[in-house]
């Protein structure tokens, strides 16, 4: 066997090893994807009770007097991040002095669920 034939056999052996290693890696990834479970929603469904809180000042407001009303939720919007992301939508029902309700809003919450 001359040097050229030995070199060709060496190259063929290297290609075979590279192919076997690539096949092993592909099969490893495939087995991992098949063996790991797919993410599912929680069963039974979680029931998350939410509460909306409000504070106002002054406690008693007369006709044409300004009032400050602050409201917030006990849950932070889960996908809120900085300037972007989801926000809660609020509508506020205020009872006028004559007993009639007035709906204000809708208001969009800040990233932590308040307005």
Q: Which of 96, 55, 52 is nearest to 74 (CA)?
A: 52
CB 102, CB 94: distance < 8 Å: yes
Regarding pTM above 0.95, the answer is no
- Read off the pLDDT of each residue in 13-22 and give the average, rounded to a whole number: 88
Q: Is 83 left (phi over 0), alpha (psi -120 to 50) or beta?
A: alpha
d(CA 97, CA 15): 88
| Domain range list for the chain | 1-39, 52-108
Per-residue pLDDT band at 24 (split at 50, 70, 90): very high
- For 21, list phi and psi in degrees, rounded to 5: -65, -45
The pLDDT confidence band at residue 9, using thresholds 50, 70 and 90, is confident
Is 89's pLDDT higher than 80? yes
- Mean pLDDT throughout 22-47? 82
Name the pLDDT band for 1 (thresholds 50, 70, 90).
low
């Amino acid at each position: 066997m001359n040097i050229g034939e030995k070199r060709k056999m060496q190259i063929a052996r290297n290609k075979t090893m590279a192919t076997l290693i690539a096949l092993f890696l592909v099969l490893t990834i495939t087995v991992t994807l098949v063996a790991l479970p797919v993410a599912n929603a929680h069963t039974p469904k979680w029931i998350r009770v939410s509460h909306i809180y409000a504070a106002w000042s002054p406690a008693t407001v007369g006709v044409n007097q300004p009032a400050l009303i602050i409201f917030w939720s006990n849950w932070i919007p889960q996908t809120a991040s900085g300037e972007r992301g989801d926000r809660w939508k609020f509508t506020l029902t205020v009872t006028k002095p004559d007993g009639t309700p007035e709906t204000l809003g809708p208001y969009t919450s800040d990233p932590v669920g308040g307005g």
